[in-house]
Amino acid sequence: MGILGKSNTLYEPIHHSGVLSWPGIGRFLRWRHGRLAGQLLLLLVVLLILYDGFTGPQIASENTATNIVWLQFRGFVMLALLFAGNLFCMNCPFALPRSLARRWSIIGPRWPRFLRNKWLAFGVLFIYLYLYEWLDLWASPWLTAWIVVFYFLLAFSLEFIFSESPFCKYVCPLGSFNYIGSTVSPLQVSVASQNVCRECVGKECVNGEWKESGKWQMLGCGTELFPPQLSSNLDCTFCLDCARACPYDNVSLASRPILHELRQPKAWPYRWDLSLLIWLFTSAALSNAFGMTPPIYATVAWLGQIVRVDSEALALLLIFAFLNIFLPLVVGLAVSWTSRTMAKKKEPLRVSLSKHTPALVPIGFAVWLAHYGFHFATGALSIIPALQNFFIDHGILLFGRAPFWTLSNIVPFSWLLPLQVLIIVLGFAGSYFVLAEIGRHEGEPLSAQLPWLILLLGLAVIALYLFTLPMEMRGTGFMH
C-alpha cells in the first residue's frame, strides 16, 4: 500500500526525496488534509483582519489589519520565497473554494482560451500596485479589509465557476508576484523517478482521482502543471495536491542549485506576456520604492504643471504607466535589439528579449526584499501592541492596560542601509551570474551581453540611490 493508503500495482512505494521525506513536516505536507489545515489557520488570521479592519482603530500602527497585511505578511513572504518557496500560495485561504470543490464535486467549464496567458495578470498587478500608492492602502485598516473582501469574492467566484484554478494562474496579483519571486527559491516540485511516470496510466498528479461515487478522491494540479515535466516554479502554488494524488508517491519537493531555473535555457516559454510580466515585477520594485520617497510628491506636482493635470490620481497613474509600462517596453526592446545586432543573430526580438529576461529576476527580487525588508525590520514587533490594543478593547487584559507602543523594530536602525546595500549588491551579482550563464548557453560574444550588463548595473545604481533617500515609515508604531 502507498502512503495514502491506495494500492500500488506497478511498484512498491519508493522513498521520497527532499522535504517530503523529512519526518514530521514531510508527513504533514503529504497528509490529505495538510493544505486545508494551513488554509484554515490563515483563514483565522483573515477573519481577525476583517473584524479589526472594519471595527478597530483607524490608525495603521494600532490596527492588526494594516500591521499583518502590510508589514508582517510581506516580510514573511519575501523570506519564505528566498529560503523555501511559495509558502503563501501553499496556504492561501483565498484558494479554499478549490479544496471545498472536492466535497461539492463541481466541474465547471474551462477558462476561456483567449485569456490563457499572463496579460490579465499583468493588468491586474499593475492596477493593484497603482491602487496601493494612490489610495495609501497601507494607511487604512478599513480599505485593507475591503481589499480582502474583494479578493475573497473574486477568488471564490472564479474557482467556483471554472474547473481549474484560473484565479491563481491568470488573475491573482499576489500569485503573479509569488510565482516570479519563487523562481529564486531553493525548492521545486519534481518527481523521484521519471520511469515510474512513464509507466503511470492515470497521471493522477494532474488529472486527479475520482471516487466511484463520482466525487473527487484527490484533486490533481489546479494550475494544470505536470510534475515530471516541471522545469520552473512559475505557476506552481506549492499546494502539493500532485503529491497527494500520485498513487506511487513519486512526487518530491527537492532542493536545486542556486538560481537554477533562471540559468536553464528554455525553462520558460518565450512569450511577450510572460516576459513583460517579469519586466513589470522588476520596474515596479523600483517605482514602488520611489513611491515612498520625497521626490514622488515633487514629480506629481511637476507633472500637474506640465500637462495641466489637476487630479493627483491621474498624475500618479501617468507616472506609474510611464515607469512600469512605457519605459520597460522601450528599454527592453532597445536592449534586445542592440544585443541581437551585436550577436549577429536573426532571431525574433521576442526570443532575444525572453531569453535574457530571467537575468532581471535576482535584481528585481533584491529590490523588493530590500524594500519590504525595510518595513519588516522597522515594524515587525508593532503587531504586539496592536494585538494588545485589540484585546484591551474587547475587555481582555494581557500584560496590563497599556499596549507596549514603543515595540517596533527588530534590528538597529543604523543597520538598515548597510543591509539594503548588501542585498542590492547580492541581487546584482545574482543577475550578472544568470546573464553570464545565458550567454554561455547561447554562445554569445561579450559585446552581445554588454547592453544587458549596463541595464542591470543601471537598475542596481537606481536602487541604491532610492534607498539612500528618506523613506516613509509605513504603518509602524515607530513614531510613538
Judged by the rule CB under 6 A, the positions of this chain that interact with ligand SF4 are 189, 191, 196-197, 200, 203-205, 221, 223, 225, 227-228, 236-242, 246, 248, 250-251
Closest approach of ligand SF4 to the CB of residue 37, in Å: 16
**Of 206 and 303, CB closest to ligand SF4:** 206
CA 323 – CA 288 distance, rounded (Å): 10
Of 98, 79, 96, residue with least CA distance to 87 = 79
Given the C-alpha cell 500637462, which residue does it identify?
A: 307
Cell 483565498 appears where? 94
CB of 30 to ligand SF4, least distance (A): 12
CB of 225 or CB of 315, closer to ligand SF4: 225
Q: Which is nearer to ligand SF4, 242 or 370 (CB)?
A: 242
C-alpha 107: how far from chain center: 28
Shortest Å distance, C-beta 201 to ligand SF4: 8
Minimum Å gap between C-beta 224 and ligand SF4 is: 8
Instruction: Give min distance, CB of 256 to ligand SF4, in A.
Output: 14
Residues contacting 359, CB < 8 A, separation 6+ = 262, 431, 432, 434, 435, 438, 452, 456
CA 94 to chain CA centroid, nearest Å: 14
Q: Are 14 and 192 in contact (CB under 8 A)?
A: yes
CA 175 to CA 154: how far, in whole Å? 14
The residue among 222 and 427 lying less far from ligand SF4, judged by its C-beta, is 222
* φ/ψ bin of 198: left (φ > 0), alpha (ψ from -120 to 50), beta (otherwise): alpha
Give the integer Cα–Cα distance in Å for 170 and 120: 6
DSSP letter at 19 equals G
Nearer to ligand SF4, 203 or 345 (CB): 203
Pick 13 or 228: Cβ nearer ligand SF4: 228
